[in-house]
Amino acid sequence: MTDSVNQQIVYLNGSYLPMMESQISTQDRGFLFGDGVYEVIPVYQGKLFRFDAHIQRLKNSLQATSITNPFNDSEWLEMLENLVAKHDWQDQYIYLQVTRGVQMQRDHLPADCLTPTIYAYTNPLKPVVDNIIQNGIKVVSLDDIRWLRCDIKATTLLPNVMMKLAAKSQGADDAILITREGNISEGTASNTFIVKDGNLITPPNSNEILPGITRMVIESIAAEHNIPMIEKNITLDDLNSADEIWLSSSTKEALPVTQLNGQAVGSGKPGALWLQMREHYQQHKQKFIESQL
Ligand code: PLP
């Protein structure tokens, strides 16, 4: 057991070893082509949150990219639980990556029968800082410059990195992305929600967004608490006139956006429905921690 980031233990291709000792081949297709997929899974008090949904999404990403799934579901769970147990942090988040593997001759066409490279490590999961809870975050809207398979959780994240940099250069914390058709897709690493006249609205799942697990959790909490929830396309005009805007992801849960393109969103403070959702979300996590699941 360790509690220092410097002594982090990682899983690489069948072994648990110190991060400083983990090495992969320069001919790994993940390194050369970004030819791989990944997952990020939150862990509350040692328990993997929504493991089934995360592993199903991983399987979908592997299948869509024709990368061999090296494990069955219980093998994935066992490996990840072992990794978590090697760290003392109460809450953690696992980063898990599978690449197509090592191919000595660089070729866009993958060779047959490659052995996937499996890498996982875990980090302490810290609560969102108070300043964000009190004041929210600033975003800008940017053209979504990504490809048409954003439903695959691919390691190839160069457009996301470029858009995050563009947001930062405009003094914002993040960006909300606008598709070529003029609809909101999502954030650079999150799904998007707006609140309008008491309705919670999010774009439908499609090839233009990642089917977020947190988005799914928020939907189920909304249903449980009779919060009207609609899946429909959101335009930039809708975004501009929203009462509230949220971004959701596994490590940040739902974050309130209080400034869009330099203008206040609603009152300029985190909104009433977000506060309510935050409360419900914490209760939902607590129930999960206490459950036998
Ligand atoms: N959309 C993108 C592009 C992401 O990278 C992420 C998470 O990293 C999400 C949405 C949110 O997904 P989840 O809630 O499963 O973390």
CATH number at residue 245: 3.20.10.10
pLDDT per residue over 63-91, tens digit each? 999 999 999 999 999 999 999 999 999 99
* Amino acid at the residue 102: V
Average pLDDT over residues 279-293: 94
**CA 101 – CA 8 distance, rounded (Å):** 24
Residue 3 in this model has a pLDDT that exceeds 60 = no
Contact predicate 150/163, CB 8 Å: no
Q: What is the CATH number of the domain that holds 102?
A: 3.30.470.10
Q: Give the pLDDT confidence score for residue 2 in this predicted structure.
A: 47
| Residues 90, 77: Cα–Cα separation, whole Å | 18
Q: What is the spatial order of strands in the sheet that 36-44 belongs to?
A: 15-18, 9-12, 117-124, 91-99, 36-44, 47-48
Active centre residues (catalytic): 153
Q: Which tokens sit at 285? A: 């996590």
Range of the domain at 203: 130-289
To the question of pTM greater than 0.85 for the whole model, the response is: yes
State residue 7's pLDDT score.
77
Atom of ligand 1 nearest to the CA of 150: 3
- Measuring from atom 4 of ligand 1, which residue has the nearest CA? 189
**Residues 93 and 145 occupy one common structural domain:** no
The closest-lying atom of ligand 1 relative to the alpha carbon of residue 216 is 14
The DSSP symbol for 269 reads S
pLDDT exceeds cutoff 80 at 155 = yes
52 and 89 both lie in a single domain: yes
> Into how many domains does the chain fold?
2
* Residue 240, pLDDT above cutoff 80: yes
How far is it, in rounded angstroms, from Cα 234 to Cα 187?
13
Decide which of 124, 143, 166 is a domain's last residue: 124
User: Residues 183-189: what's their mean pLDDT?
Assistant: 98
> Residue 110 pLDDT more than 60?
yes
Q: Please give the sequence-ordered ranges of beta strands (E in DSSP) within 76-228, or none if there are none.
A: 91-99, 117-124, 137-143, 174-178, 184-187, 191-196, 199-202
Structural tokens at position 17 = 């070893």
Assess whether 237 and 106 both reside in one domain.
Answer: no
86/146 same-domain check: no
The whole-number pLDDT of residue 293 equals 66
* Residues 79 and 194 both lie in one domain: no
Q: Do residue 222 and residue 165 come from a single domain? A: yes
Question: Do residue 81 and residue 159 come from a single domain?
Answer: no
Average pLDDT (231-238) is 98
| Mean pLDDT of all residues belonging to the chain | 97
The domain boundary, picked from 101, 124, 147, lies at: 124
280 and 147 co-located in one domain: yes
Closest CA to 39 of 244, 210, 235, 280: 210
Ligand 1 atom 5, closest CA: 189
Percent of the chain surpassing pLDDT 90: 97
The pLDDT of residue 118: 98
Last residue of a domain, one of 81, 97, 124: 124
On the question of pLDDT at 168 being above 60, the answer is yes
Residue 288 has pLDDT above 50, yes or no: yes
Going by CA atoms, what residue is nearest to atom 2 of ligand 1? 189
| Residues 177 and 163 occupy one common structural domain | yes
Say if residue 154 is in the same domain as residue 248: yes
Residues 10 and 111 in one domain: yes
Looking at the fold, whether 43 and 107 belong to one and the same domain comes out as yes
8-state DSSP, 284? H
Give the pLDDT confidence of 244-273 residue by residue, as tens digits: 999 999 999 999 999 999 999 999 999 999
